[in-house]
Amino acid sequence: MYEISFQTLSDRLFKDTPWPSVDAVAHYVDNDQVFCLLYREMWFRHLYARLSPTLKQRIDSWDNYCSLFQVVLHRVVNMQLPNQWLWDMVDEFVYQFQSFCQYRAKMKNKTEQEIALLRQYDQAWNVYGVLNYLQAFVEKSNIIQILEQEKEGLEQFTATDGYDYSGGSNVLKVLGYFSMVGLLRVHCLLGDYQTGLKCLLPIDISQQGVYTSVIGSHIATIYHYGFANLMLRRYVEAIREFNKMLLYIYKTKQYHQKSPQYEQILKKNEQMYALLAICLSLCPQVKLVDETVNSQLREKYGEKMARMQRYDDEAFVIYDELFSYACPKFITPSAPSFEEPLVNYNQDAYRLQLKLFLYEVKQQQLLSGVRTFLKVYSTISLGKLANYMEVDEPTLRTILLTYKHKTHAVDSDGKIISNADVDFYIDDDMIHVVESMPVKRYGDYFLRQIVK
């Protein structure tokens, strides 16, 4: 009922208007507190989706989330809710936080009344409050321990999609589970990718899980996981996960055409293709990409990817364009200083992340020449390569060390991992090249021909 009726009624009766207020419906349910809080959560969600909320409505929505979350965290909740609803709740909570930060950062044209409200309700959508609620769900639900016990065969959380068929409630456990994805998303918005990935560690994304039971959760998890790995130079991991997600969407998107999330699915699909194009331009590991995904990628970005390999001014413009299109909407969580002249600072966080990303791209430019030579030779002396590159040997050693550094990263377990498709070692002033050979996968080709 939730997944279909709410959307259908919204389209039919409340397309451009809010739903009836909670006061208008409360007497039909004997003023049940939990029902009214859930109804208001959906009321505000509809308002954000179809209309433009006022500052007071943004603050009221925060207050409603606080009241609802306090009930879930500190009272006995005996109901079960669909996973889709619980995911939407976490997803919307993070979205409204992001939206409020963007709204608050546009100070230039704020009215005196809006400024007075921002001063009065300075704790509304406070970043610490948002993080604390998400972390409280994780801790109070004991979801990390549940997932650990599941690995030992003592729990069936994933097998039951988080539902409790013995009569208990799934609300706290599933909210705790989805809150780990919410924490990843918030930390990505803040530019703290290491902490974001650490929050997601209890979920094994190499396996099916409750996060894959809801398409919105599945896409949000992989999108933010892949983006965080991209920014941490773990290109191989980002490529693997983007490839799997894009292949999944390619195979299943026709089943979601009537879903309210369909437009969002298509948008994230296009953004992940752009991020995959960036990853493969910085780390040419095409062998990790399925033939179907690679074909779609070349169709969308083949020409741009060829230009991105040149590392000239035109290439940097394309990197800038793709990053700006595909990155999350970064936020500055701090409140403005009301004593200073009011200016817009909603783009500051984005500009900082773009600057850091393009700095990394420029550093890769230094490596494009040495990589070209390493692709050609199996062995070459330091002197000969230095001569070809028109540098002295000490400078070449510095470039080679930089290549080693930039093609390696530290994974979530603290292990050093390689992103290089061409590696090398030096022995007695001789460079020995080790190139990873692509494994041809004939199975995918034959399966596609059988389907045809």
| pLDDT tens, position by position, 181-210 | 999 999 999 999 999 999 999 999 999 999
Query: Can you give the pTM of this predicted structure?
Result: 0.90
Tell me the pLDDT tens digit for each residue of 299-308: 999 999 999 9
> Could you report the per-residue pLDDT of 338-351, keeping only the tens digit for each?
888 889 999 999 99
Q: What does the pLDDT look like over 8-17, one tens digit per residue?
A: 898 899 989 9
Pick from 399, 410, 394, 341: nearest CA to 374: 399
Res 401: pLDDT = 86
Strand pairing class (379-381; 430-435): antiparallel
**Sheet strand arrangement including 379-381:** 379-381, 430-435, 422-427
Residue 59 CA: distances (Å) to CA of 18, 103, 271, 329, 437: 17, 12, 31, 21, 56
Query: What pLDDT, in 10s, does the model give residues 317-334?
Result: 999 999 999 999 999 999
Q: Say which CATH architecture domain 366-435 belongs to.
A: Orthogonal Bundle (1.10)
Within its chain, how far is the Cα of 409 from the centroid? 20
- Which carries the bigger pLDDT value, residue 205 or residue 374? 205
Cβ–Cβ under 8 Å, residues 228 and 211: no
The answer to whether 216 and 224 have CB atoms below 8 angstroms apart is no
Give the residue, 199 or 311, on which the prediction is more confident: 199
Tokens found for residue 40: 């208001």
User: Dmax of the chain from CA atoms?
Assistant: 86
Helices 215-231 and 171-190: crossing angle in degrees, nearest 10, is 30
The first and second tokens of residue 416, run together, are 């050093």
Name every residue whose Cβ is closer than 8 Å to that of residue 116 and which is 6 or more positions away in sequence.
none
Alpha-carbon distances of 218 from 84, 205, 211, 221, 248, rounded to whole Å: 11, 9, 5, 5, 10
Question: Quick one: which H or E segment has residue 431?
Answer: strand 430-435
Q: What's the whole-number average pLDDT of the chain?
A: 90
Strand partners, 416: 410
Calpha distance 215→151 (Å, rounded): 24
Q: Is the pLDDT of residue 412 over 80?
A: no
Domain range summary for the chain, segments of one domain joined by +: 1-191, 366-435
Tell me: pLDDT of 52 over 70: yes
pLDDT at 221: 98
**Per-residue confidence (pLDDT) for residue 269, from 0 to 100:** 97
Nearest Cα residue to 68 out of 38, 112, 32, 31? 38
Among all chains, which residue has been given the structure tokens 């959560």?
41
Q: Determine contact, residues 389/381, Cβ cutoff 8 Å.
A: no
Q: Give the integer Cα–Cα distance in Å for 188 and 228.
A: 7
Tokens of 257: 């055409």
Alpha-carbon distance 421 to 286, whole Å? 9
Identify the CA nearest to 231 among candidates 195, 194, 205, 202: 194
| Six token digits for residue 242 | 């983007």
Handedness of CA 298, 207, 257, 261 (dihedral sign): negative
CA distance 221 to 232: 17
Question: In this predicted model, which residue has the larger pLDDT, 406 or 123?
Answer: 123
Signed CA dihedral, 57, 50, 344, 315: sign only: positive
